[in-house]
Structure 1
């Protein structure tokens, strides 16, 4: 059963979504306003007090190194933020990065890949591949690297792995995808069946933003919608998804296709949870439980020298 805290938080999200729907009915915000709104909301959430945040330029991108006292220097988690490919930044994902740094005992590198529609596909994939290569060139071995992401960043995580494999690069030790957006055609059955229960997303809102990133490309391109990619040879992957989100089938189909390709992938569907619920660990106990599970998975796959 979902916790009392999650039920209360869920109700708040539902009320906020209803209020925003009324606002959008008469005033459609610009991209700049949406981006600023996301930044403002998440800038109010403090990172864990013992975590260090170091702004940097990495592979030509603005980025942040987020480290906990137990984070090892010989390993790194490359974090690809969500935001539907047109929003999101180091600010919006600083808090979840701080929790992952502690749970995974790794430094977390959050990069600001180029955003659509100014930079549509393949900009995000090119930037994430470049960041991974820079990590390796800096001296961190692939077996000590993890790639993780949420929502669009979860889909980008898979696309990055496919691109790295196809280009002949050594792959990271494992990967994590939280509520991954893997089908930009939005054909999953949960777009209908979970719509009444999703407190954050609607099918209309998701379908209405795909064009920002897809542009003139085919939405079934393997690096846009990685459920259509050849997934063989990818590293072990943990997938988390909320039972009550319209992207539920994006995660389940990804897991099914990874397993069919011989990849050790597991999907956990969290009862009563919503899109990227891990971001609310300051308020919802299930969110921290999920972060801890991710940490256990990541650490279990690292070689002994990186533990």
Structure 2
């Protein structure tokens, strides 16, 4: 059964539930979702179901909300025009290309103007799948839905190794799905070479607050081991909230005395829940696209559901030196101008002080999870181009490569060297 069929079935059960009924997820008994009676307006839109969870109003459908969605394309167009005008003149950093500047302005406009009164509508927007035909050539995507284990395998068509990357997608714990980040996972598989990747579809709020995602990550780990996958052949990976889950899973495995993976590749991991007082959060606001404090506070409250924000399983920044010392080798990527830089570097520094093997790569001039900006820079190899660039490869092969790798691609090259080093897969 596909992931989409599982999700559609769950949505259908939720829509059929009577008003004011408490729905308990069978796979995670602690996950409770309260659905309330809605207005005629909200009933007209399937993605606008009114609901609340522990006092959080998750949807407020109205004519104003609809107008906000109708105006969103206008805001995106304005952001695109602003980025194009400024991008053609000058850039604050030499690593910024014109297309990158345009994309950054569009992402900032999207984060600033998307109507957040209805969480479900925002989730529908961010859960959109990345079409598989545009992935780099030589890759196949296969969906998995086995009980609570859901996600996607991204595999080379000529797989000749058991090396496995277990990837946790980002999205502030609340947004996006595995299929949303098919491109970044595909790029990693191509860049690392000789491995496959399982992109995990972990449960998310409002149905599944903490520790549901972490519990599911442990289930995925045990599911892999049951298929005779050896821990030393596995590297955990993730971006943003997914990087948080990868670190939390390592700490959970450590606490239970289980055998650890060979290492972890972390792209801008979210290691501190509310980093608003940090230096980078205050100074890099105009260079990044995640500077919406109200939205972050809402998502953190929904995810933690009352859990301690300084628990290392919630915020790995607060892991003890004893916990950090026992971690496997870590490769951490951080954007030079991202707002979470102080927290991420603080975690890396504490881990190094605890004698943990940590490799930190700073992408100069780059924002949060800058590997998502692959479209703004040509890859160093034509084999890493999306399939939609076939005409470019055929007609203009000399234009499909770059002598100087942008931070996006240089970071992946550094990650490749890490995973194939003697301490990890070498």
Task: Name the TM-score, length of structure 2 as normaliser.
Answer: 0.66
Cα distance, 1:299–1:29 mapped onto 2, change above 3 Å? farther
For structure 1, list consecutive stretches of 5 or more residues without a partner in the other structure: none
Residue 334 of structure 2 is aligned to residue 213 of structure 1: no
**Matched residues in 2 for 1:118 and 1:130: separation?**
18
Cα distance, 1:170–1:191 mapped onto 2, change above 3 Å? same
Cα distance, 1:274–1:191 mapped onto 2, change above 3 Å? same
Task: Please give the secondary structure, in 2, of the residue aligned with 1:147.
Answer: strand
Deviation at 1:101, TM superposition (A): 1.4
**Matched residues in 1 for 2:110 and 2:251: separation?**
40
Tell me which of 305, 310, 328 is aligned to 1:235.
Answer: 328
User: C-alpha offsets along residues 9-64 of structure 1, whole Å, 9 cap, x if unaligned?
Assistant: 1343224423653x34xx43422211221133744982112101111125622211
2:350 alignment partner in structure 1: 257
Query: Could you tell me whether the CA contact under 8 Å between 1:79 and 1:110 is conserved in 2?
Result: yes
Tell me which of 90, 99, 108 is aligned to 1:17.
Answer: 108
Task: Name the TM-score, length of structure 1 as normaliser.
Answer: 0.90
Structure with greater Cα Rg: 2
1:91 alignment partner in structure 2: 179
Query: Could you tell me whether the CA contact under 8 Å between 1:69 and 1:102 is conserved in 2?
Result: no
**Matched residues in 2 for 1:29 and 1:74: separation?**
45
**Matched residues in 2 for 1:72 and 1:201: separation?**
43
Residue 209 of structure 2 is aligned to residue 120 of structure 1: yes
Task: Please give the secondary structure, in 2, of the residue aligned with 1:53.
Answer: strand
**Matched residues in 2 for 1:59 and 1:168: separation?**
25
Query: Could you tell me whether the CA contact under 8 Å between 1:191 and 1:203 is conserved in 2?
Result: no
**Matched residues in 2 for 1:192 and 1:45: separation?**
40
**Matched residues in 1 for 2:136 and 2:371: separation?**
15
After superposing the two structures, state which structure 1 stretch, 60-69 or 104-113, moved more. Answer: 60-69
User: C-alpha offsets along residues 74-123 of structure 1, whole Å, 9 cap, x if unaligned?
Assistant: 22111011111111212111111111112222110011111012211111
Cα distance, 1:71–1:58 mapped onto 2, change above 3 Å? farther
Task: Please give the secondary structure, in 2, of the residue aligned with 1:55.
Answer: strand
Structure with greater contact order relative to length (CA < 8 Å, sep ≥ 6): 1
**Matched residues in 1 for 2:376 and 2:219: separation?**
35
**Matched residues in 2 for 1:67 and 1:155: separation?**
24
Deviation at 1:185, TM superposition (A): 2.9
**Matched residues in 1 for 2:362 and 2:305: separation?**
31
2:279 alignment partner in structure 1: 189
The size of the alignment, in residue pairs, is: 300
**Matched residues in 2 for 1:258 and 1:137: separation?**
31
Residues 144-293 of structure 1 mapped to structure 2, 5 A cutoff: 144-186=233-275, 187-230=277-320, 231-284=324-377, 285-293=406-414
Tell me which of 188, 191, 195 is aligned to 1:100.
Answer: 188
For structure 2, list consecutive stretches of 5 or more residues without a partner in the other structure: 1-92, 378-405
Residues 59-78 of structure 1 mapped to structure 2, 5 A cutoff: 60-69=148-157, 71-78=159-166
After superposing the two structures, state which structure 1 stretch, 180-189 or 86-95, moved more. Answer: 180-189
Cα distance, 1:19–1:217 mapped onto 2, change above 3 Å? closer
Cα distance, 1:68–1:198 mapped onto 2, change above 3 Å? same
2:3 alignment partner in structure 1: none
**Matched residues in 2 for 1:174 and 1:69: separation?**
25
Cα distance, 1:10–1:44 mapped onto 2, change above 3 Å? farther
**Matched residues in 1 for 2:157 and 2:110: separation?**
41
**Matched residues in 2 for 1:249 and 1:171: separation?**
27
After superposing the two structures, state which structure 1 stretch, 246-255 or 50-59, moved more. Answer: 50-59
Cα distance, 1:58–1:77 mapped onto 2, change above 3 Å? farther
Cα distance, 1:184–1:200 mapped onto 2, change above 3 Å? closer
